[in-house]
Amino acid sequence: MDLRRYQYEILGNRFLVLEGSRGCPYPCTYCTRVIQGKKLRPKTPEQLGREVEAAVRQFAARNIYFIDLEFTAAAELVRGLCEYLLARAISVRWCCQTRVDQVDEPLLALMRRAAAG
C-alpha cells in the first residue's frame, strides 16, 4: 500500500483510517449510529495499539484518523491506547471525534502526549 497517495487535509499525507470501536450509546438525532447500533463494541487497547504500530512501522503511516462515532465513549480503550503508544515510543499524529462531556483535562493531556507525532 502506497500511503503517499492518501492524505487528509487536516492531518497531512501518509494517512490511514482506523476504528477502535463500533456503535455508540448516545441518542444524538443527527447521527448515523443506526448503521452501527447502540451497543458500544470496543477493541482492546492492545489490539488497537498493535494496529497503530503496524500502520506506523510496516506502512510508514504518519497520520491516523480514528473514525469511531465517539472515540472516548470507551475511555479505557483510549487511555490504554495512549499508554501503549507512549510506552513503545510510537510517533504518529492522530485525531478522533468525541463529545465534550466524555473528556476531562487528564484524558485530554494524555491524548495530546500520545498524538504528538
Q: What is the CATH number of the domain that holds 61?
A: 3.30.750.210
pTM for the full model?
A: 0.86
What is the spatial distance between Cα 20 and Cα 48, in angstroms, rounded to a whole number?
6
Nearest to 65 by CA among 2, 14, 108: 14
Provide the number of structural domains found in the chain: 1
Structure confidence at residue 35 (pLDDT) = 59
Residue 2 contacts by C-beta under 8 Å, 6 or more apart in sequence? Answer: none
15-65, pLDDT tens digit by residue?
888 999 988 787 777 776 555 666 889 999 999 999 999 999 998 999 999
**Whole-angstrom distance, CA of residue 109 vs CA of residue 33:** 28
Alpha helices in 1-117 (DSSP H): 45-57, 75-87, 105-114
Domain with 12 in it:
3-114
Mean pLDDT (whole number) for 73-96: 96
